[in-house]
Amino acid sequence: MTLKALPKIDYAAHPLYGGMFEPNPVLGAQMQAALAPLIERTAKDEHARVERFGYRYGCCDALTRELAEQGSATRQLPAAAIDAIHAAARSRLELLQGQLRAAAAAGERSKKKTAWKVVDIGCELWTTVDQALRDMGLFEATATVFGAPAAKLRSMNVLVNYPDPDWITRLFRDVEVGAPPTGGLHFDPDHRCSTKMVLYLNDVGPEQGPFSIVPGSHRWDERSQDRIYRSAFDRLGTVVRSAKWRKRFLSLPAEMQTKAEFGSDMIPGSPEAEALLEAEQVMTGPRGQLNMFNPDAIHRGANVTVGERHAMLIYIDPAWPAN
């Protein structure tokens, strides 16, 4: 089976949704009311994107062709560039490591599996990254892909990830069910054009939580109402799978039972789950590997099981003249 569309999950038949709960019309009406403004906001964001970009992906060389067609590309930073970035990021990495060690020593669970720190605009790390990306032509590449006159850095974060023993069982807290092999696969629900990047600051093998992507999936169900529903649900901030929220979700009309973060609900071994895993590209790689992607594509970061992962998450946005 080759997937060409976002996987649809039959929640009525899902053992942890329809298999456990009955839809409730009152809850369904409450959920629809909560989602209505988010659907409207997402549709507006999507409309603005269509007006400016119109899904006219552009390309002029190998990099932009990969970004336009695959929705992803990987490049290695020159040694001098990654050394300069690493030196500028070091104090933040040490701070995050210290915080994680202190939390672990106190027996605290971090709510997220990621510890991250926002990088302030204009600081040394910001300008060092900006220069490295400029030297690699990534601003021009982003402008070309989205048909914009220019592009610029939007934001960046420094991340440190440690192994999280809860990761396998934390999804459905009321039942003893582990995360499926597709757990965490999602697209970003913000409906804006950007090139998102995961820059490895240490070597990342299969056990250090590699980033992964499903090539070409940024165009699956492009401009669809389904993508809007999915994003609206995730924007509600309820990508939790407690019994309460699963029941509410199941009470929505069938066409609205859809999520941007859908991988954790896929049935292990189902043809769509198998096809998605088959298509997934796992981006293990050395320190200095820059994984670029379109956040409309299906992607995830794996759990760290051994050692730790140090990385930066960086966004370049196309820049259009103000209306």
Q: Give the residue with the Cβ less far from Fe ion, 188 or 272.
A: 188
Closest distance of CB 127 from Fe ion, Å: 26
Task: Give, as ranges, the residues between 263 and 292 that touch Fe ion (CB under 5 A).
Answer: none
Residue nearest to Fe ion (CB): 188
Nearest partner of 5 among 309, 165, 230, 199, judged by Cα: 230
Task: Give, as ranges, the residues between 165 and 194 that touch Fe ion (CB under 5 A).
Answer: 188
Give the whole-angstrom CA distance, residue 171 versus residue 183: 9
Closest distance of CB 188 from Fe ion, Å: 5
Size, binding site for Fe ion by CB under 5 A: 1
Closest distance of CB 239 from Fe ion, Å: 11
Closest distance of CB 295 from Fe ion, Å: 6
Q: Give the residue with the Cβ less far from Fe ion, 88 or 302.
A: 302
Q: Give the residue with the Cβ less far from Fe ion, 96 or 297.
A: 297
Closest distance of CB 196 from Fe ion, Å: 7
Closest distance of CB 186 from Fe ion, Å: 6
Give the whole-angstrom CA distance, residue 191 versus residue 38: 12
At residue 208, the 3 state secondary structure works out as strand
At residue 172, the 3 state secondary structure works out as strand
Q: Which helix (H) or strand (E) holds 235?
A: helix 225-235
SS3 of the chain: helix, strand, coil, percent, to 5: 40, 20, 45
Q: Give the residue with the Cβ less far from Fe ion, 16 or 185.
A: 185
Nearest partner of 304 among 117, 113, 107, judged by Cα: 113
Q: Which strands, in side-by-side order, build the sheet including 281-283?
A: 281-283, 211-213, 299-301
Does residue 234 touch Fe ion according to CB under 5 A?
no
Residue 69's Cβ-count burial label (10 Å; 0-12, 13-18, 19+) is middle
Closest distance of CB 260 from Fe ion, Å: 9
Q: Give the residue with the Cβ less far from Fe ion, 46 or 188.
A: 188
Give the whole-angstrom CA distance, residue 238 versus residue 59: 37
Q: Give the residue with the Cβ less far from Fe ion, 88 or 193.
A: 193
Q: Give the residue with the Cβ less far from Fe ion, 72 or 251.
A: 72
Q: How many CB atoms lie within 10 A of CB 294?
A: 25
Residues at the interface with Fe ion (CB under 5 A)? 188
